Amino acid sequence: APPAGPRPFPGPQRIFRPTSQHGRRPPYHQSQRRSEPRQAPPPKKEIIVEPLSLPAKIQITDFCTVKELAEKLTIKLKLLEDKIAQMKMNYMGNQIMESADIEKLCADFGVALEILPYEDFVFQTQVAKSGAKLTTRPPVVTVMGHVDHGKTTLLDTLRKTRVAEKEAGGITQKIGAYKLRTPEGTIVFVDTPGHEAFTNLRARGAKVTDLVILVVAANDGVQPQTIEAIHHAQAAGVPMIVAINKIDIQGADIEKIKQDLNKNNILVESWGGKVVSVEISAKNNINLDTLLEMIQLTAQIQELQAFPHIPARGTIIESRLDPQLGPIGTVLIQHGQLKKGDYFICGHSLGKIKSIYDDNGNMLNSAQVPDPIEIMGFEDVPQAGDIFQIVDDLEKAKKIIEMRQINQKASQNKDFLVEKKLSLQNLFQMVELEKIQTFPVIVKADNFGSAEVLGQVLDRLSQEKLKIEIMHSGLGNINEGDILLASTAGAVILGFNVKAPQKILSMAKMEKVEIRLYSVIYHLVEEIEKAVKGKIGPQYQESLIGKVEILQKFKISKVGIVAGCVVREGKVTRKSKLKIMRESDLVFEGEIESLKRIKDEVSEVRAGTECGIRIKNFSNIEPGDILEIYETSIIP
């Protein structure tokens, strides 16, 4: 009997085809082979490339990764990476891209691009996400005017009214802004030290003020600082109310004030104009109620609004470094609400709110629009005009701050991502490209007659294509306010027989404001004419190579005035240019005519060595003058 269990596998078997008698396979007949139809190869599938469905326009932050850009463009990350490689860029999925490269990619895709600062992007995202609705907000008012015209008295009188109504136990603490509650509604006053601080905020792009109160004393009239305040408010495009103060004292002439204002393009309503004017006495509290009513009425016309129920957004009004508490910033909340423990981004730093104080010095747990508050929790001291924004994506905010700090360091070594401002060199080019129709200038002269003549000359130089607009005309040396106004208005400063202190020159360089100093009107006219026609010479950059102190002044017959000097720093060369500084004021700018060591003409003298210098076309030197020696090179 066969053994039980499964049969063993028989192994591979060979299958034989039938063969002929001779053991060979029968060959296919040739005709048989032909009769079989030859099969055609299967048709190739046609590859259809579907057109990309791209948005017409995208919005991104100032620092955007490859992955985020792909999401915004609604395309696959692989496709964007292929395009990046094709355009010979080097980025991976989570890398932050340069703005210039993003612009090139979007241009290649045919997509319009808008790059927003991260704060603006967060704000817009939060508004969209929450579905927030706008509500009416109180006006923010700045009081400006000439010294001793009653600006401080007006603010103090209004503040006393408010302080009398506040709860007992509150600690009065003056900060950069405060709230005033009136029967008609709340008003926020920005208490800044004059128009320079106001313009500093405007120069940094911060729109904080909704309305300017211009205080003019009825017994003193329109003064230089009044005119400056008018120009600053006009440059900012902010509505104005004129408060004619001190109407109750002897010598008050209200009609003369209105006449003087009219000469400065401020036509009040009683004279048929559009500017509201209120006659007040700040000291004796006369007509202050009417002034507050006019503020509220003007605010209603402007229809001021804010989002009250989103994470807060505001602007830094002022800041300080407390030795014990650290950096402190005064924030005017413009939208939303905040509380202790919230994270925020401000300028080049990330912070967490540790303490909140109101304008009375009371500690708060939370605050909302339109509260002016002091906040502790900044990493660094913020700058006036910085945007303050509460953030929820902490990791993204950290990356943004890191990139900003890297770019800030880069910008300290070279002009990095800085928009080129208007100068005499690029004036013709800007006109030809139709980027400007007006050429704003600020005129500073040594006396009223010179300023008037310069105004007439510049008016004559205006052309059909280009109107020369004098933003401000004043007397005396160029000051900080002139630089701030020029920076805000994009103006060039023209000085006639005036000086520019070293501090002002440094500030002008930082703000990218061009200063031109003249001692002969003809030279000013000649340069403006050349600039308008595009014939002005190339622009040069200065490199400081040494400092020289004048020890003695020698008068040598047949030679002239020679300065006996010692080189304090660096070196001086025969081909150098120089600036004569006298007590930090710029006295003269010119060239070296002769450089001698003992009696020999030399090409160079180094630090620690005495020498004789004769200055070309200038002899009014004094012992103690400092010569700043520099070389120039053409800016490509």
Do 461 and 528 sit in the same domain of this protein? yes
Averages of pLDDT over runs of 10 residues in the chain (636 residues) are: 53 52 53 54 52 83 84 89 86 76 90 88 89 90 80 80 41 62 85 58 65 89 83 84 90 88 89 90 89 92 92 90 86 94 90 91 91 91 88 84 70 41 59 66 82 81 75 86 82 86 81 83 79 62 85 87 92 90 82 89 91 89 91 68
CATH of the domain at 501: 3.40.50.10050
Q: In the beta sheet, which residues pair with residue 599?
A: none
Residue 330 has which token pair? 């005064």
Residue 351 has which token pair? 């912070």
Is 22 within the bounds of a domain? no
Is 599 within the bounds of a domain? yes
Give 35's contacts (C-beta < 8 A, 6+ positions apart): none
Last residue of a domain, one of 533, 556, 572: 533
Is 125 within the bounds of a domain? no
Do 294 and 174 sit in the same domain of this protein? yes
What is the tally of structural domains in the chain? 5
What pLDDT does 614 receive?
92
Is 40 within the bounds of a domain? no
Do 180 and 81 sit in the same domain of this protein? no
CATH of the domain at 558: 2.40.30.10
Do 288 and 188 sit in the same domain of this protein? yes
What pLDDT does 161 receive?
52
Last residue of a domain, one of 518, 533, 548: 533
- CA end-to-end span of the chain, whole Å? 109
Do 609 and 629 sit in the same domain of this protein? yes
Do 252 and 296 sit in the same domain of this protein? yes
Do 452 and 367 sit in the same domain of this protein? no
Q: Is 521 helix (H, G, I), strand (E, B) or coil?
A: helix
Do 284 and 159 sit in the same domain of this protein? yes
CA distances to 222, 423, 427, 460, 467 from 464, in Å? 33, 20, 15, 11, 7
CATH of the domain at 166: 3.40.50.300
Q: What is the CA radius of gyration of the chain?
A: 37
Is 421 within the bounds of a domain? no
Do 183 and 207 sit in the same domain of this protein? yes
Q: In the beta sheet, which residues pair with residue 586?
A: 581
Tell me the backbone φ, ψ of residue 74, rounded to 5 degrees.
55, 45
Angle between helix axes 502-511 and 480-489 (nearest 10 degrees) is: 20
Given a contact cutoff of 8 angstroms between Cβ atoms, the answer to whether 29 and 36 are in contact is: no
Is 36 within the bounds of a domain? no
What pLDDT does 36 receive?
54
Cα–Cα distance between 17 and 518 in angstroms, integer? 114
What pLDDT does 43 receive?
59
Q: Is 46 helix (H, G, I), strand (E, B) or coil?
A: coil
Do 195 and 174 sit in the same domain of this protein? yes
Is 442 within the bounds of a domain? yes
Last residue of a domain, one of 353, 382, 413: 413
| Nearest to 116, CA basis, from 72, 56, 70 | 72
CA distances to 301, 334, 367 from 136, in Å? 12, 12, 17
CATH of the domain at 61: 1.10.1660
What pLDDT does 345 receive?
92
- The range of the structural domain enclosing residue 450 comes to 427-533
Q: Is 373 helix (H, G, I), strand (E, B) or coil?
A: strand
Q: In what order do the strands lie in the sheet with 467-475?
A: 467-475, 438-445, 492-496, 515-518
Count CB neighbours of 226 within 10 A: 27
Instruction: Give the DSSP letter string of 257-312.
Output: HHHHHHHTT--BGGGTSSBEEEE-BTTTTBSHHHHHHHHHHHHHHHT-EE--SSB-
**Single-letter amino acid, residue 378:** F
What pLDDT does 432 receive?
58
Give 144's contacts (C-beta < 8 A, 6+ positions apart): 151, 194, 195, 198, 212, 213, 214, 215, 229, 232, 233
Do 558 and 529 sit in the same domain of this protein? no
Strands, E assignment, 297-370: 305-306, 313-322, 326-335, 337-339, 343-346, 349-352, 355-357, 363-364, 366-368
Do 143 and 240 sit in the same domain of this protein? yes
Is 392 within the bounds of a domain? yes
